[in-house]
Amino acid sequence: MHQKSTLPTAEVTVLPVRARMADQGDERQPVAPIEPQVSPPTEGAADVETYQADRALHAMLARLSGGISPAALLLAYTDWLMHLASSPQRRIEIAQEALVDTERFFEAAQRFFSPGQGPWSLIEPQPHDKRFGRPEWEHPPFNLMAQAFLLGEQWWHNATTGLRGVAKQNEAIVEFSVRQMLDVMSPSNFAATNPEVLRRTFESGGNNFVRGWRNFCSDWTRLMSAGLDVSLGPVATGDFVVGEMVATARGRVVFRNELIELIQYYPTTEKVHPEPVLIVPAWIMKYYILDLSPQNSLVKYLAGEGFTVFMISWRNPDAADREIAFDDYRKLGVEAALDTVGDIVPGRQVHALGYCLGGTLLSIAAATMARDGDDRLKSVSLLTAQTDFTEAGELTLFINESQVAFLEDMMWERGVLDTTQMVGAFQLLRSNDLIWSRLTRDYLMGERAVPSDLMAWNADATRLPYRMHSEYLRKLFLNNDLAGGRYLVEGKPISLSDIHTPMFVVGTLHDHVAPWKSVYKIHRQVDADVTFLLTSGGHNAGIVAPPGEPGHTYRIKTEVAHATYTGPDEWLNTVASAEGSWWPEWTKWLSARSGEPSEPPRMGTDAAQTKNLPEAPGDYVRH
């Protein structure tokens, strides 16, 4: 399963095996344990047992820094400052920009009350910046405050970018961190400088602050409770409780092992296509992102289109699962699910769908199956899934040797990457929308966002095992082994070019996790017909796009194997946009590659050990 290290200091470590017991009514049944494995040391790393004191210190620092490596920040700023110090002409240019902006601002301030002088005379917010979008920000003095802030933000962006000689990643880290610090000082974050808050205060007689204080106390109590009890269940957002308002598609668990529950959904049509659909979601999220409330459920939509649907539900690991490896997710996840689907629907190929990291895993499994002559896959569909991580967006800011080592030491102490660390990293990527705007609304305006199924799912976070996440960061993000043909499965390399199965690949236009141009690189990696669809929206909202919901658009085009390559920018400019959801396009594509509908298959297998497994959504999703 894993390549043995050739380093002279390598030691063979037999990992502990832990068998779990699953509650099944009055019976308790053993769950298949993870097999013992040989764990080679990380390439280029010294024996971790020798430096436990160092790792403990780094873990303590991580708690203080929120998981951000101080060394990575220091190296980035040192790179930028040293090159800035040795660039006198660039420093003069930056200083001149500051003087010109200051002069323009004061001239505009003097003319602000003149007839015909409109708002945003110097600089306008970016289209995605909603902080100053309300009409109140068009009046003095608030408009001047906003313009001063935006001018300063623009100046710092120019000062931290475009400096010759600075490493691109260091430049990105400096620009990103400075932007985060500036966002804290936005006039929209303070009651005295936010006209929306002031208006609400006058209208409510200050009750907005009373409600905001109550919101703060409620959030603080929940945060402290979660900190004291890591096993605390997910936060219920409104009425969106798992199994009651979300994850409600009818089905049953037909297989369970140490890592997954496999759900088979009941058919909703008299006849179904003979080829089943297996969905592999990411384990950094709960599976029911694809089975939200009934009107937003991709599972329900697929069943209504005449498909037999299977879904993997990953178990949420804890500290005792620290040694679960990345390849365990392939073997005990994708492979085990395919075996079970094959028992239920024998002799039929499978349409496999992978979402986010689940799509990356599915591409690894598909390449492995192609290498080994396994032809069980009829098609492969990937949703916002990357297979080349050289341009993985702002997530790469957190991925360098210093940062990965720091995260490894933090996870080494805890056994997992906890939920707060995961949520915090994603929130930083969109801090205006996910942090500061929410704090302003909740604590200054005294409001709460209207609960939604997507909010409930987003609050239901998961943990990641130490070993798996370390291997994922190093092999895929840091070393980009999969794209480079260096990724090993069971000791032998795999190549995405071995995949000849037709592919349907979806990217989202405003994705901050898996940028669509990064997802688009699949065209250059596989030897297969690729239908690429680019839909509006972000990483999650762009995927949860049911028919009939307004505001969705998409572009779609099929490139046959061996076709002349078209770059992403050219593709975007030449492929026409269409209104509506992308879901019908995908089911139409699946139907064209499926047989004539026939009687639905049986539900589950006849194996005695599965007879007492629960109905959907199962047990693993509740923890």
More confident residue, 158 or 452: 158
Domains of the chain, by residue range, sit at: 70-204, 251-390+499-611
292: confidence class by pLDDT, cuts 50, 70, 90: very high
pLDDT above 80 for 429: no
pLDDT tens per residue across span 195-242: 999 999 999 999 999 999 999 998 888 777 655 443 334 444 567 889
CA–CA distance, 301 with 291 (Å, rounded to integer): 9
Q: Which CATH architecture has domain 251-390+499-611?
A: 3-Layer(aba) Sandwich (3.40)
- pLDDT given for residue 220 in this prediction: 87
Q: Please give the pLDDT value at position 35.
A: 45
Phi-psi region of 293 (alpha: psi -120 to 50; beta: other; left: phi over 0): beta
- pTM, entire model: 0.85
The answer to whether the beta carbons of residues 451 and 240 sit under 8 Å apart is yes
Distances (CA, A) of 53 to 415, 466, 469: 16, 18, 22
Q: Determine if the peptide bond prior to 33 is cis (ω within 30°).
A: no
Report angle CA 553, 298, 515 to the nearest 5 degrees: 50
How confident is the model over 538-553, as a mean pLDDT? Answer: 95
Helix axes 70-85, 401-414, angle to 10 degrees: 160
Residue-wise DSSP of 473-489: IIIIIIS-HHHHT--EE
Q: Which residue has the higher pLDDT, 574 or 454?
A: 574
Clarify whether 356 is annotated catalytic. yes
Q: What is the pLDDT of residue 44?
A: 40
Q: Closest by alpha carbon to 193, among 247, 123, 131, 252?
A: 131
| 422 pLDDT tier (thresholds 50, 70, 90) | low
Lowest mean pLDDT among 88-102, 128-142, 509-523: 128-142
Q: Tell me what pLDDT residue 236 has.
A: 44
* Range of weakest confidence among 4-13, 156-165, 465-474, 552-561: 4-13
| Long-range contacts at 219-225 (CB < 8 A, ≥ 24 apart) | 219/442
Closest by alpha carbon to 220, among 462, 463, 482, 439? 439
**What average pLDDT score do residues 240-263 get?**
95
Q: Which residue has the tokens 């609960």?
A: 451
Mean per-residue pLDDT of the chain:
86
Structural tokens at position 73:
């920040």
Q: Could you tell me the end-to-end alpha-carbon distance of the chain, in angstroms, rounded to an integer?
A: 29
Residue type, 325: A
**Active-site entry in 146, 356, 380, 397:** 356
**What pLDDT score was predicted for residue 7?**
33
| Cβ atoms within 10 Å of 13's Cβ, excluding its own | 14
**Per-residue pLDDT averaged across 5-9, rounded?**
34
Instruction: Show contacts of 180-188: CB within 8 Å, 24+ apart.
Output: 180/428, 180/431, 182/149, 182/152, 182/153, 182/156, 183/431, 183/432, 183/436, 184/436, 185/149, 186/131, 186/149, 186/436, 187/142, 187/145, 187/146, 187/149, 188/131, 188/132, 188/146, 188/436, 188/437, 188/440
Residue 60 has pLDDT above 90, yes or no: no
Lowest mean pLDDT: which of 59-63, 202-206, 443-447? Answer: 59-63
| Mean pLDDT for the stretch of residues 75-90 | 96
Cβ count within 10 A of residue 384: 27
pLDDT in the model for residue 254: 96
Evaluate if residue 406 carries a pLDDT over 90: no
- What is the band of 619 on the pLDDT scale with cuts at 50, 70, 90? very high
| Structure confidence at residue 549 (pLDDT) | 94
Number of Cα atoms under 13 Å in the Cβ half of residue 507: 28
381 phi, psi to nearest 5 deg: -120, 135
Residues 6 or more apart in contact with residue 616 via CB below 8 angstroms: 247, 249, 250, 251, 252, 253, 263, 265
Helix (H, G, I), strand (E, B) or coil at 615: strand
Count, in order, helices (H) and strands (E) of the chain.
Answer: 21, 16
Task: Give the Å distances, CA to CA, from 110 to 106, 141, 344, 427.
Answer: 6, 12, 77, 39
Q: Which of 6-20, 161-175, 428-442, 530-544 has the least mean pLDDT?
A: 6-20
% of the chain with per-residue pLDDT over 90: 65
Count CB-CB contacts under 10 A for residue 21.
10
Give the pLDDT confidence score for residue 89 in this predicted structure. Answer: 96
**What would the mean pLDDT of 524-539 be, rounded to a whole number?**
96
Would you say residue 36 has pLDDT above 50?
no
pLDDT attached to residue 245: 92
Q: How confident is the model at residue 71 (pLDDT cuts 50, 70, 90)?
A: confident
Q: What is residue 492's predicted lDDT score, i.e. its pLDDT?
A: 97
pLDDT at 62 exceeding the cut of 50: yes
Mean of the pLDDT values across residues 394-404? 80
